[in-house]
Structure 1
Amino acid sequence: MASLRIAVFASGQGTNFQAIVDAVQEGKLDVTIELLVCDKPAAPVAERARKAGVDTFLFTPKEYPSREAYETEIIAELQRRGVELIVLAGYMRIITSVLVEPFYGRMINIHPALLPAFPGVNGIGQALAYGVKLTGVTVHYVDGGMDSGPIIAQVPVEVASDDTESSLAERIHAAEQALLPSVIQLIAENRVSLDGRHVTIRR
């Protein structure tokens, strides 16, 4: 069976992108990374892609008249490469229906909290400020809302009484880098099914 063709969207350091690349290189992930999409051409993730030999679509949003305009261009790139799954891995832009609708059920995101708690930006800081004893990581389908799509998988991370945002982030990011490739592999093996808000994983 042919490898699942994926595109990764990222905006920053690219540690989750790197985790995917490493899993592919180690033979743990049966996908082909067709493209990195990045809205910040100078971001470190773009250099990670270059070193990994992954093609990039780098763009500056303010050079376009609207979100829909650059998303239309991105869709053309994805379709040209036969991309079957979009993986949002630290992509810090709001996504419109232009991109969501044609890829619904084929676009996933990783979020640094146990959704539906602490959606949006800085899920780690939100959890710490609220005083929860348990937070974690969620991989979910993207539905156009703010981290509101059907949940595929979650991993809990305990919050210590002396945690800082930095120390908690370190453990959250480690959990992200383990969970995201494993969920992508489940999808590549066709073991994940979506029915309304309910996701079933066949073991």
Structure 2
Amino acid sequence: MTARVVVLVSGSGTTLQALLDAAADPGYGADVVAVGADRGDIQGLTRAEKAGVPTFVLPVADYDTREAWDAALTEEVASHDPHLVVSAGFMKLVGPAFLSRFQNRMVNSHPALLPSFPGMHGPRDALEYGVKFTGCTLFFVDAGVDTGPIIDQRVVPVEPTDDVSQLHERIKVAERDMLVDSIGRLAREGWTVTGRKVSIP
């Protein structure tokens, strides 16, 4: 069985493209069945349309409350019957309705080795702290900020000459590779979550 994946984007969609490219191989085990965004006129939606993948756009401003937006997003994503939901640069926090519906099925990545350096500035914070290694983390989204059960991590060395943008670019490469590899494994092999521990058979 091929796993159905809905991808949420807010920008250029480079991670989405990596997933679309991987899913073109029937042996990958996952198929991107829809791509959603919180704003129109972004390259991520164009990438999906070029690949023939259905898209939807739900701007927060179109709803009276954040809860109403979250409910609409939940129903729209659920209508595509996904096994996994992937946040690929999606810049909006989902709410309780969404998290309840897709518990341990929504995947996000973070450009640091969690639990170190959570939040918006992982590469900058790692560089300022002076660590010799940082990296990226793939996790199932929960109600906290970058606190969900960890699926995978990749280590990226910090070079003495790095500035924030150089370090972040190298992390992004590792992040895309990690996400594509892990989504394929989750799709092909399944997973269980026990407490904070994610197991892929």
Q: Name the SS of the counterpart of 2:91 in structure 1.
A: coil
CA drift of 1:75 comes to 2.0
In structure 2, C-alpha distance between the alignment counterparts of 1:40 and 1:3, rounded to whole Å: 29
CA drift of 1:67 comes to 2.1
**Aligned residue identity for 1:144:** A
Partner of residue 116, structure 1: 115
TM-score under structure 2 normalisation?
Answer: 0.94
Partner of residue 104, structure 1: 103
Q: Tell whether the 8 Å contact from 2:28 to 2:188 is kept in structure 1 after alignment.
A: no
Q: Tell whether the 8 Å contact from 2:112 to 2:123 is kept in structure 1 after alignment.
A: yes
In structure 2, C-alpha distance between the alignment counterparts of 1:191 and 1:102, rounded to whole Å: 18
CA drift of 1:27 comes to 4.2
In structure 2, C-alpha distance between the alignment counterparts of 1:120 and 1:136, rounded to whole Å: 14
Partner of residue 155, structure 1: 154
Partner of residue 4, structure 2: 5
Partner of residue 68, structure 1: 67
- For residues 109-159 of structure 1, give each alpha carbon's deviation from its aligned partner in whole angstroms, at most 9, with x where no partner exists: 111110011111121222122221111010001111101001110000000
In structure 1, C-alpha distance between the alignment counterparts of 2:101 and 2:164, rounded to whole Å: 37
Q: Which runs of 5+ in 2 are unaligned?
A: none
In the alignment, structure 1 residue 82 sits paired with structure 2 residue 81: yes
Q: Tell whether the 8 Å contact from 2:58 to 2:73 is kept in structure 1 after alignment.
A: no
TM-score under structure 1 normalisation?
Answer: 0.93
In structure 2, C-alpha distance between the alignment counterparts of 1:191 and 1:145, rounded to whole Å: 24
In structure 2, C-alpha distance between the alignment counterparts of 1:28 and 1:137, rounded to whole Å: 26
Q: Tell whether the 8 Å contact from 1:29 to 1:181 is kept in structure 2 after alignment.
A: no
CA drift of 1:28 comes to 5.3
In structure 2, C-alpha distance between the alignment counterparts of 1:119 and 1:126, rounded to whole Å: 9
**Aligned residue identity for 1:159:** V
Q: Tell whether the 8 Å contact from 1:139 to 1:154 is kept in structure 2 after alignment.
A: yes
Partner of residue 16, structure 2: 17
Q: Tell whether the 8 Å contact from 2:186 to 2:200 is kept in structure 1 after alignment.
A: no
Q: Select between 139-148 and 75-84 the one with higher mean Cα deviation.
A: 75-84
Aligned Cα root-mean-square deviation (Å): 1.4
CA drift of 1:192 comes to 2.4
Q: Select between 104-113 and 125-134 the one with higher mean Cα deviation.
A: 125-134
Q: Tell whether the 8 Å contact from 2:6 to 2:80 is kept in structure 1 after alignment.
A: no
Partner of residue 51, structure 1: 50
Q: Tell whether the 8 Å contact from 2:110 to 2:146 is kept in structure 1 after alignment.
A: yes
Q: Select between 144-153 and 187-196 the one with higher mean Cα deviation.
A: 187-196
Partner of residue 178, structure 2: 179
Q: Name the SS of the counterpart of 2:138 in structure 1.
A: strand
Identity among equivalent positions (%) equals: 39
